[in-house]
Structure 1
């Protein structure tokens, strides 16, 4: 009888120990699983943090390159780069979790979108600056052309003949220049002697253009004497970054049909030598010619 009780007690103890062993094994398994899950989460958070930092560094490099080009947008670019630098500093110090990293990722996306917008503006501005760099002051170009005019006349005419005006542009043709002696009777006699001339007559034709805008047109006529002096009004007008000193303005009422324009420039004591006549439509040179007084 006692042996039976002893066996029963032993079995009970063994059962309890088995249950405790199973409980310990389950706890160890759960602890191990939780630890592994935690490590996986920590690794994922660390990886995401590194990825966001790399993206921010690339964003900063883009701003550095754009700022180095020294555009007029440099101040705005510097301000946006500073936001990127500040976010990088905050992220590097942050211990972070998945929720915090999502906030940093969202802030990066907002900064990236702003960067793309600014880069479009920078590219547009670069294109405009390149065009401006190619457009020299029109008056300086014309004066430089005048010094070499006799040597390059043929080449210039060939170049002009290849220039195709856009459909909406008006073509200025048949530019003619001559000097005249005004008699007391009012009659004008053409002359090629500087001592006799007291009037310079400038005439040209505006070609018919059915698609051009009709209305009042202003053409700036520039006459340069043999000593590179601009004759006439000597007024200066500015078109964007270009300035032009002109002799007079030829005002034309254009109604989409051919118009002949003629205007006189009175004067006295004209210099001997070659004169250059240039016609501008705003800041664009549209025709030029020359004549010589003995």
Structure 2
């Protein structure tokens, strides 16, 4: 009887173990399949991340090839993407790394959008500056007496980007004036009566410009392209520039009306069209013309 019970218990135990083994096998197979599926998903996600990084690199390469502005910023950003791409390729795909790479890609895309907006803005300003320089070159070609110094300035202007913080002027105009005994200035366009030439303009509001004292210069050229004024020679980084007059102003990032008077030489005053150029330091920021009789 005891032996019969033992056999029965052994059979039950064997059955339980068999069921447990079957359940364990099923769980193992299921776990293996799930693990395999998860790895496949992670590998697919890793491939997607690599494609996105490669796409970012291609876009940066195109931007670097077609833009001369902010080249170093673009190159640095591209290098960070390349380093991240190498890290992704060398890493075994797992959920933690994939999540981190996703966050880094989001940050890189935001940086790309910001940089590209800045590049587009600066490129547009650069094209505008190039148009201004082309117009200026036609005048510069006629100034044989100042060709060396003006060529240096022109080359400097042609290679610089018109930064967003550069001062800008509106309402630029030149005119002849008579100086009364009481100091009052009266506008006049007859060369025989003019005492000085007045150049007036408004410096526009610009929160990005550095506030403080600014040195402004004016060049006035008569119809024969002779410089009218005090012949002020000023040494800049790019060379010596000669101006008709100069004035120091204090700029506080708000609109500022400015007028600069240039002395006249009767021998250089003649009927015709005069050209006026306004500089902030050695940067050309405005040009205009006016006529005298």
Query: Is residue 58 of structure 1 aligned with residue 55 of structure 2?
Result: yes
Residue 169 of structure 1 corresponds to which residue in structure 2? Answer: 171
Residue 266 of structure 2 corresponds to which residue in structure 1? Answer: 266
The farther-off stretch of 170-179 and 68-77 is: 170-179
Deviations 1:190-242 (A, max 9, x none): 9xxxxxxxxxx5777889x9xxxxxxx975431143xx55566555679999x
Pair 7,249 (structure 1): closer, same or farther in 2 beyond 3 Å: closer
Q: In 1, Cα distance between the equivalents of 2:106 and 2:221? A: 57
Alignment equivalent of 2:111, drawn from 114, 121, 126: 114
Pair 85,108 (structure 1): closer, same or farther in 2 beyond 3 Å: same
Deviations 1:230-285 (A, max 9, x none): 566555679999x9865x4498xxxxxxx9x8964133xx8xx9854334454533
Check conservation: 1:177, 1:203, Cα contact below 8 A. no
State the aligned residue count. 234
Q: In 1, Cα distance between the equivalents of 2:88 and 2:221? A: 65
Larger Rg: 1
Check conservation: 2:230, 2:245, Cα contact below 8 A. no
Check conservation: 2:228, 2:263, Cα contact below 8 A. no
Secondary structure of the corresponding residue to residue 48 of structure 1: helix
Residue 96 of structure 1 corresponds to which residue in structure 2? Answer: 93
Q: In 2, Cα distance between the equivalents of 1:139 and 1:240? A: 20
Pair 22,167 (structure 1): closer, same or farther in 2 beyond 3 Å: closer
Q: In 1, Cα distance between the equivalents of 2:227 and 2:263? A: 17
Alignment equivalent of 2:83, drawn from 83, 86, 111: 86
Alignment equivalent of 2:36, drawn from 35, 39, 44: 39
Pair 99,249 (structure 1): closer, same or farther in 2 beyond 3 Å: closer
The alpha-carbon deviation at position 123 of structure 1 amounts to 2.1
Check conservation: 1:139, 1:245, Cα contact below 8 A. no
Q: In 2, Cα distance between the equivalents of 1:18 and 1:81? A: 64
Secondary structure of the corresponding residue to residue 288 of structure 1: strand
Query: Which residues of 2 match residues 223-234 of structure 1 at below 5 A?
Result: 223-225=222-224, 229-230=226-227
Residue 222 of structure 1 corresponds to which residue in structure 2? Answer: 221
The alpha-carbon deviation at position 143 of structure 1 amounts to 6.6
Check conservation: 1:202, 1:262, Cα contact below 8 A. no
Secondary structure of the corresponding residue to residue 265 of structure 2: strand
Structure 2 gaps of 5+ residues are 144-167, 176-186, 203-215, 248-258
- For normalisation by structure 2, the TM-score amounts to 0.58
Pair 175,45 (structure 1): closer, same or farther in 2 beyond 3 Å: farther
Residue 20 of structure 2 corresponds to which residue in structure 1? Answer: 23
Structure 1 gaps of 5+ residues are 147-165, 180-189, 191-200, 210-216, 252-258
Check conservation: 2:191, 2:271, Cα contact below 8 A. no
